[in-house]
Structure 1
Amino acid sequence: MGDSWLWILSVALIVAGLAGTVLPALPGTLLVLAGILLGAWIDDFARVGWGSLAAVGVLAVVAWAADFVAGLLGARRAGASREAILGAALGTVAGIFMGLVGVLFMPLVGAAVGEYVARRDEQRAVRVGFATWLGVMAGLVAKIAISFMMIGIFVVALLV
């Protein structure tokens, strides 16, 4: 009976991790990784071995890097100022408290406001805000895809 509760906890960590790929308040890929590690441990690493865990660990690092780099690349490609990048970061944090809509759109608002403060050019501010938002969304999509890849490796290892 004890293993059943551990499996439930493993699945709960993975599900919370998937939610965390969208909600920045939760460390998404870290929770998915923790759930997978717990699942491997429950099974004494018999079916999910070190090779699978190494692959999942590398994917977790890639997901974190993709999430971080994508927003910066979007901002940099548009020629964003440091204020715009800071504004996007602050907008992301503020968006956490505004629900899903805030999480999705506050980085755009923050980057646009930061760029406007830096250069006083409304058109440029909107362009930089949009480019930064596209980068953040690309990172989000990559993080979700990689999280599902991590889960796929885990499930295949369990079943094979």
Structure 2
Amino acid sequence: MVEVIGWILVIALFVVGMLGTIYPVLPGALAIYFAFFVYGWFFSFAEFGPWFWIIQTVIVIALFVADYLVSAYGTKKFGGTRLSVILSTIGLIIGPFVIPAFGLILGPLIGALAGELISGKNFQTALKVAWGTMLGLLSSAIVKIILQLGMIIIWIIWIVVH
């Protein structure tokens, strides 16, 4: 029974982690990283050596750096202001609550658009920045999905091989 609980927790953390790639309120990579500890506590840490932890930690750090840089790059490349970055992030967080079906896309788009309009840019320029922000956020989500799936695949290989 304890093993079943362990597997449920590990799988639940993996699911939460993957959902975190598109919904920033969820812990994402940290949930996946924590799943490794849950596995160790319920089963064994013996399979994990220092290289496992080094590789996974580097991936987590890369995820945090890439998440910020790729999202901000999309906004900055299209001429966006810091206010647009901030409001698009707020839109990403609250968008799904305000507009349930489309909030993940419309929230950041509206936030960046509002940020540019507040900064005094014309509508055409603001819309261009908003699209750049969306491209940055989508690119960031793709990078997170790939790296977090990589974390899970490395974990699976590591426990099967060791």
Shared fold, TM over 0.5: yes
Deviation at 1:100, TM superposition (A): 5.5
Using the size of structure 1 for normalisation, the TM-score is: 0.91
Structure 1 residues 118 and 126: alpha-carbon distance in aligned structure 2, compared to 1, 3 A threshold: same
Match of 1:155 in 2: 156
TM-score (norm 2): 0.90
Q: Hey, what's the Cα distance between the residues in 1 that align with 2:50 and 2:8?
A: 22
Q: Secondary structure at the match of 1:99?
A: coil
Question: Do the aligned partners of 1:64 and 1:143 also contact (CA within 8 Å) in 2?
Answer: no
Cα distance in 2 between the residues matched to 1:146 and 1:37:
19
| Equivalent position of 1:32 in the other structure | 32
- Identify the residue that residue 8 of structure 1 maps to in structure 2: 8
Aligned to 1:43: 43
> Gaps spanning 5+ residues in structure 2: where?
none
8 Å Cα contact 1:74-1:131 kept in structure 2:
yes
Q: Is the contact made by 2:96 and 2:102 (CA closer than 8 Å) also made in structure 1?
A: no
Unpaired segments ≥5 residues, structure 1: none
8 Å CA contact 2:2, 2:42 repeated in 1: no
Q: What is the percent sequence identity of the aligned residues?
A: 29
Aligned length: 160
- 1:4-24 CA-to-partner distances (Å, cap 9, x unmatched) read 311221111111111122111
Q: Distance in 1 between matches of 2:37 and 2:50?
A: 10
Q: Which residue of 2 aligns with 1:132?
A: 133
Say which is worse superposed, 35-44 or 132-141, in terms of deviation: 35-44
Letter paired with 2:29: T
Q: Which amino acid aligns with 2:154?
A: I
Q: How has the CA–CA distance of structure 1 residues 36 and 100 changed in structure 2, closer, same or farther, with 3 Å as cutoff?
A: farther
Counterpart Cα distance in 1 of 2:100 and 2:159: 35
